[in-house]
Copies of this chain bind each other. A is one copy, B any other.
Amino acid sequence: MDIDRIRAAARRLSGHALRTPLLSSPFLDKVAGRRVLVKPECLQHTGSFKFRGAWAALSALAAEDRAAGVIAYSSGNHAQGVARAARAHGASAIIVMPADAPALKIANTRALGAEVVLYDRATEDRDAIGKALAAERGLTLIRPFDDPEVIAGQGTTGLEIAEDARALGIAAADVLVCCGGGGFTSGIALALEAEAPGLRVRPVEPEGFDDVSRSLAAGRIERNATSAGGLCDAIVTPQPGDLTFPILQRLCGPGIVVSETEALRAMAAAFLRLKLVAEPGGAVALAAALFHADASDGDAVIVTISGGNVDPDVFARALATLAA
């Protein structure tokens, strides 16, 4: 995994992925006590950064492998990213999704042309199901994070952050990244290492699913006690990846953990101040910037909003925090 692979992915994504801007609001700056710059990957195609990695992986396949079709297992955002990237490449896609994923994500994945196979997150192993289906039908498995091309695709976000931070004169800052298995986080960290070494990635996770923060503190991979449930479904994974963890260990600062209530309040702030729809897992980094400001130093902080695929009832819960 190196910067050249990320740069190559950026060339393949050019004109296909959305080049997202950096957003800001004086109201957020005031809450955080420093300048806050927001990278809104909720605006990315399919509503999350996952489209980048999916496109990078699909576009890197040999033509005959693409023609045979792909398979992915995902709680939703990777599913939609792979479905749309596959359709654009003329490839068929099977997506293995947990039966309790948000209804919207399952419906969207089907509407994007993929075949959806549901499984029980509490009793079945999605990796095993994915591998079996792949072997049986000759499909290529597109992993959600532990894949060099997927990491490279997510890392293109980091190239854009580096470019925009430079234009804004920000040479040193923490970059708070919503972290599940670590594909987004490690990709951004690798891009920043090469392009903006003064920008340091900090993984942000929800309480109860802080495997990366604990693993970084312990110096070895640690698992979550539970691998299902919680509002932040988009970034809930059992443990950091074998490929991603060494990168996180080498390049990231300590993890930051936020509560679900803080994630909901950050969603409300994104609604009010940025006019963005964030999902709970996509709002944890903004929550860290706003409500754990003492976890960072410096005049500025850069924050990713990783996705916006949220059901209306959960969004209404976030808006309700404004009345409290």
> Which residues does A use to contact B, with CB under 8 Å?
18-21, 23-24, 26-27, 40, 42-43, 45, 47, 84, 104, 108, 111-112, 268, 271-272, 274-278, 308-309, 312, 315-316, 319, 322-323
Contacts and interface: CB of A to CB of B under 8 A. Distances in A.
Given A27-B111, A47-B275, A316-B319, A19 B21 contact: yes
24 contacts: A18-B21, A18-B23, A19-B21, A20-B21, A21-B21, A21-B43, A24-B45, A27-B108, A27-B111, A43-B274, A43-B275, A47-B275, A104-B272, A268-B312, A271-B277, A272-B312, A275-B276, A275-B277, A275-B278, A275-B309, A276-B276, A312-B322, A312-B323, A316-B316
A68 B315 CA distance: 44
A319 B308 contact: no
A268 B308 CA distance: 13
A42 B319 contact: no
Number of identical protomers: 2
Contacts of A278: 275
Contacts of A272: 104, 312
Contact of A275 (B21, B308, B316): B308
Contacts of A18: 21, 23
A312 B321 CA distance: 10
A271 B323 contact: no
A16 B84 CA distance: 35
